[in-house]
Structure 1
């Protein structure tokens, strides 16, 4: 009878989070295995559009013992540079990894550890780290099926460039980071763009002489932990602020795009045939995004004044366009055929897929329960998720601290189970 391979720790997922845990486990001298269903860098390489780039500066790329290696720390890496950065990190780590191996089931084992069913056969582990992220299942609403087949539909995960879409106008649904950047990509290409504006907040890019992220770093915002955040665990549900790193970085003001010809609408409310319907929330969503934008500026102003920093002044924010100022310009429904809309790009996010985990590790909404990544299920951990501990937890910025912490927890757990010498 063939024995089932056993490992002290198995890490599921070989992205930046899983590789960071591997690096710290190697430093702790803990034997482990990384299982990656595709290959290192797959999502960055295969699930991003051609002009994709980071929205945070390169200096925030701080994988453990592997900070940004290039000559442009205040720039924003494009897709190929991100892949190269991650591959360089993997080359330094030299993780014990098996690529092309998917985990299809994780359950509690009879031995007190865990049983894993994989595409490479069964395995067991004393401890398991889930480093698969939360971007597994593209979200498309059920009513999308009611739209005429004459209109091509695509999710942002499959969008690559404007030439991929048929000639004509394009409706982008969603104004988070992906939605506004795809909108801009299409606009730069000369396409007529319609944008469904949701509740996502926006951020300044450069303000009073610095990138806003640099000010926030100085102000200690990125050290704020979720247990001290005013919203508590609800911070995990907040959408990221939209801005861009394209062409040296700039902020995105949807009102200015409206002046330049982009047609803004409220949130998507439904569709049937060639008709799409919108909620009456465009003005509110624009105002709410601007209020967050202005509040960030106010916080920076207060910090500058308190610290006595000599920084250039900037004029107050003034909206350049408002839907209420253009009578009848914002219809509650449009006909795609009449507007020449040939394609819709859905950019309303993803859902995680934890269906393969058969353990009591989730709340009533299916979200993983943890404190700093440590699950209430003994020996199970999560990493690479937004606000695992801080704002940077789901990004290159905070994963080093998170992975080091989990490695220390696993080391302590192993040591506590070792027999005490006489």
Structure 2
């Protein structure tokens, strides 16, 4: 990875040195466009520093399709574990050899005449174009209710969780049942810890169905090629990911099964008061909603198999293994020996440095396939930027190729005007 002195001007500036920013750098190099990548921490920081020890991919290895760097191992249908993922990413970093300035935070992005002005902790530069590749996962999102928990309870976010051994003895509450929350709850459960899981409306998906990984079926059906602009897909960019796991070769995550094994389940957290955590009475609807999505995906596969006349083992709808007898509305933390809380409540983006009109009323960047309304400004690495695989190893490269192609065309179109101005 190159480390170059800061120049006063670049044709393109990339903000963010994760998989999206590096993919953009790859294609900028292919197009011969001079650029720099500013990374607030270190390249691929989140993969290296914000994953727990037992972390593994949720999608099969064959979906790792970074630019000119497809999965190169011997188990395409398996699920790489943390060390294997880091090695895969490190090989990509070395291959791209991006001009990255690490530990360089961008503090302001503004229009500056015909160019853009980018203020950073290392100095100020201008650029013809800017690619914002900071994703939606900049800062851990922790609800204000956390401030009302008893001081003696240890609190960490999923970004800080590594294994059960870092937590004090006693029961653990995991707040949030998305991918990370469910997988960490399982990790603690397998380690013999008493887990209390606070659920939300996250959907779930089968790992295997009718003889194959569900991801393989969905790929054949064309689900990963559906764009966000197609009917009914507009809201997908804000959807929570389905929960399942690739651990130990891959399996379903069934919260009802965990309940039978002693895990305590609750509805969505509504607050904290007087040493008690409070819940909404929606545990049953959360579980039913997740199972409805699970069965809906399997039904889609059933229809595909029937339409194509494919020979496959028989399938059947999921039947609940357990039902909550009553909705628990509050939990006395001291009485239940709760000593730690893990916030699996997601992340918040940090767009504070962007001084350009690219956002909607919800502070989300408005774009079409990464191209914003501000000519020369692009976004990359967002979930459902264009397809289901956007923001992930599967399609972030395709998104970057399109964005940089648009950027390159823009630079080519403006080059004669810039030369004319320079010679005037």
TM-score, normalisation: structure 2: 0.95
1:350 shift after superposition: 0.9
Question: Equivalent residues in 2 for 1:91-110 (5 A)?
Answer: 91-110=94-113
Residue 59, structure 1, aligned to residue 62, structure 2:
yes
Residue 405, structure 1, aligned to residue 424, structure 2:
no
Distance 2:384 2:55 in 1: 23
Question: Equivalent residues in 2 for 1:105-124 (5 A)?
Answer: 105-110=108-113, 112-124=114-126
Q: Which residue of 1 aligns with 2:314?
A: 313
Residue 174, structure 1, aligned to residue 179, structure 2:
no
Distance 2:21 2:119 in 1: 19
Q: Which residue of 2 aligns with 1:203?
A: 205
Question: Equivalent residues in 2 for 1:185-264 (5 A)?
Answer: 185-232=187-234, 234-264=235-265
Secondary structure at 1:87 match in 2:
helix
1:273 shift after superposition: 3.1
1:106 shift after superposition: 0.7
Distance 1:60 1:231 in 2: 22
5+ residue gaps in structure 1?
A: none
Distance 2:359 2:78 in 1: 38
8 Å contact kept, 2:281–2:328:
no
Question: Equivalent residues in 2 for 1:5-404 (5 A)?
Answer: 5-110=8-113, 112-232=114-234, 234-323=235-324, 326=325, 328=326, 330-404=327-401
1:316 shift after superposition: 2.9
Distance 1:317 1:129 in 2: 44
Distance 1:315 1:385 in 2: 35
1:229 shift after superposition: 4.3
8 Å contact kept, 1:45–1:80:
no
1:4 shift after superposition: 6.4
8 Å contact kept, 1:202–1:289:
yes
Q: Deviations over 1:386-411 (max 9, x none)?
A: 01000101100011111110111011
Distance 1:65 1:240 in 2: 27
Distance 2:92 2:159 in 1: 25
5+ residue gaps in structure 2?
A: 1-5
Moved more, 8-17 or 74-83: 74-83
1:29 shift after superposition: 1.4
Q: Deviations over 1:99-143 (max 9, x none)?
A: 221111111113x11111111111111100011111112111112
1:264 shift after superposition: 0.5
